[in-house]
Amino acid sequence: MDAADVRDDLSEVLYTSDQIAERIAEVAAQIDEDYAGREVLLVGVLNGAVMVVADLQRAMKNHVQMDWMAVSSYGSGTQSSGVVRILKDLSSDLDGRHVIVVEDIIDTGLTLSYLMSNLASRNPASLEIMTMFRKPEASRMEVDVKYVGYDIPNKFVVGFGLDYDGRYRNLRDLAILSPHVYS
Ligand code: 5GP
Ligand code: MG
Ligand code: MG
């Protein structure tokens, strides 16, 4: 399957890689300002947040560190299961650290609510959330999201780290997956 074939499975590009980079630069500048004099630990949620963490930290001017967690939520379908399991835990101790959890997308927020209470119990100096994309449903979440890239419509999207069944993460744009792929 070549790159042209991958793009045949998309119905609409919502954000181009340039628009994503532009927004990440703005968020990075905001984080630099908000955390001036305090070193941030970005906690990326695998695998979707890989691109966000890579681009966000390179757009920052402050010192910054990263660590990773893997949790299960979606499986290979397009609906949140509500089942959250830690598949890979952090290597770092969060005690006294300024932590920003980095997500690719928040839909129901089920995954994140679980993660936040888990991380809060590890005694960080501060704990905030950055998500690249956010769906409307997330507004009903109890946890506060400090940094949002873009609010998007309630469609199943892929690209910029987001997958369908392990594929499409390598697309640089964020696009709506054509329903013919999964129906
Ligand atoms: P939530 O628990 O907020 O409902 O879902 C969290 C996870 O579900 C995200 O981190 C992401 O992995 C996956 N997810 C939610 N919406 C989408 C979507 O539109 N496209 C893709 N590819 N994954 C999604
Ligand atoms: Mg995620
Ligand atoms: Mg996924």
Instruction: Determine contact, residues 104/161, Cβ cutoff 8 Å.
Output: yes
Ligand nearest to the CA of 76: 3
Tell me the domain boundaries of the chain.
17-153
ipTM of this model? 0.96
pTM over 0.95: no
- Whether 64 and 40 have beta carbons less than 8 Å apart is answered as yes
User: What pLDDT is stored for residue 111 in this prediction?
Assistant: 83
User: Is 106's C-beta closer than 6 angstroms to any atom of ligand 1?
Assistant: yes
pLDDT in tens, 64-92: 999 999 988 655 555 555 567 899 999 99
CATH placement of domain 17-153: 3.40.50.2020
Task: Flag the least confident range among 78-82, 138-142, 178-182.
Answer: 78-82
Neighbours of ion ligand 3 (CB under 5 A): 74, 163
Q: Which two tokens stand for residue 112?
A: 């994140």
